Amino acid sequence: MLRSAAHAEPLGLYLHIPFCLDRCTYCSFATTRDRSLQPETTARLLHQVRAWGAALERPAVDTLYLGGGTPSLLSAAELADLTAALREAFDLSPLTEATFEANPGTVDLPWLRQARDLGWDRVSLGVQALDDVLLARLGRIHGAAQALEALDLAERAGFRRRSADLMVGIPGQSLSKVLGDARTLAATGLDHLSIYLLDLDKACPLRAEIDAGRLALPSEDEVADVFEALQTELPRLGLAPYEISNYALPGGESIHNTRYWERRPYLGLGPSAASQMGDFRWTETSVIPAWTGGRGEVELQELDPAEALAELPLLGLRLHRGVDWAALRTRADALNLRPLTDGWEARLRALVEQELVLWEGDWVRLTARGMLMSNGILQMFV
């Protein structure tokens, strides 16, 4: 069943590199500072790439994404081996985008040039802020100057496609600082900017500092003001919104990430990596030694047709262009689930009055205000 799903259309392939030089104070990803595991983990990843390529009979892949952790901690030889294994195990002839994430504190020109020569064509840099005090608070291993230098090095290495992450909601971060950082980043000529809200849901050192009263998070209103100001400022800088948290120059949209919002199939390999094909979804263990030793449990979920249908607007409304509602209705009819889409439609139409939703022909999308309140609106599909 998976094999036919994997051949229905090209896949996206995500590889998780779970190593970091140091732990950021807010991080809850499956990563470790224990680099002694790196050779073994990379060898296991190579094995998994080959095994999945063989099991799925060398399916076509049109987007690659090397995430983490810190993929830029791979040695030149590890990156070359991994890239060669990907080319062998999967049909990369339809490849449209090959992204890797990099920490600005770990890149140099020779490594970036090699990555570019190997065919990686897009780099996503975790900048987070351009203020050394805030970066230290986040436990980042780089300062602001190093972040800008990394963007410059990537350009010199031949990366036409460069993205940066900017974080909102950091204790001590002001609106003018975020806007200033956004302007400085846009001036580097990058083609993509992701705006993330600092998420401290899980236990982490920064959460403990806040709970102890030593630091304070900005209020919800302050954070909302920042997001609203960015909605106005970034398009002025040429970076148009195409998803709730993502802005790009024309043609700079992340093709790989867009597949998640379009609910297109992907295979994820590495600790904590998630995959989705057809109505199956699975997540590998986040316990790194267990994954590396091939002992980790895989969490498998089969979505029922109603759950799978609900994911289309749940994810699709994150995109600026929204959802083709006529196509969604047709799909619902084929599944005998029309009452479900009719119910959502009634609720969305009520939100048109409040200027949170726009209905244009067959398409429905969130307005700029709707994007700011998307958490509440999208709850109807959960």
User: Residue from 53, 69, 71, 268 that binds ligand SF4 (CB under 6 A)?
Assistant: 69
For residue 164, which of 94, 237, 110 has the smallest C-alpha distance?
237
- Residue 70, interface with ligand SF4 (CB under 6 A)? yes
Nearer to ligand SF4, 68 or 270 (CB): 68
C-alpha to C-alpha distance for 61 and 69, rounded to whole angstroms:
23
Give min distance, CB of 106 to ligand SF4, in A. Answer: 9
How many residues bind ligand SF4, per CB under 6 A? Answer: 11
Smallest distance, ligand SF4 to C-beta of residue 67, A: 9
Q: What is the DSSP letter of 218?
A: P
DSSP letter at 217? P
Cβ atoms 272, 283 nearer than 8 A: yes
Closest separation between CB of residue 141 and ligand SF4, Å?
Answer: 8
Stretch that binds ligand SF4, among 20-28, 37-45, 225-233, 300-308 (CB under 6 A): 20-28
Q: Does 31 bind ligand SF4 (CB under 6 A)?
A: yes
Nearer to ligand SF4 (CB atom), residue 20 or residue 351? 20
What residues between 211 and 240 interact with ligand SF4 by CB under 6 A? none
Residues paired with residue 102 on neighbouring β-strands, in sequence order: 125
Torsion angles phi and psi, residue 324, rounded to 5: -80, 100
Is 111 in contact with 150 (CB distance < 8 Å)?
Answer: no
Q: Among 24, 112, 234, 269, which residue interacts with ligand SF4 (rule: CB under 6 A)?
A: 24
Q: Show the binding pattern over residues 104-133: x = contacts ligand SF4 (CB under 6 A), - = does not.
A: ----------------------x-------
Residue 194: strand pairing partners: 165, 246
Q: Please tell me whether residue 146 binds ligand SF4 under the rule CB under 6 A.
A: no
Our CB check for ligand SF4 shows the closer of 126 and 252 to be 126
Q: Please tell me whether residue 68 adopts helix, strand or coil conformation.
A: strand
By beta-carbon proximity to ligand SF4, the closer residue of 23 and 183 is 23
Token pair of 43 as six digits: 């060898």
CA angle 309, 313, 318 (to 5 degrees): 145
Contact present, 329 and 341 (Cβ < 8 Å): yes
Binding footprint of ligand SF4 on the chain (CB under 6 A): 20, 23-24, 27, 29, 31, 68-70, 103, 126
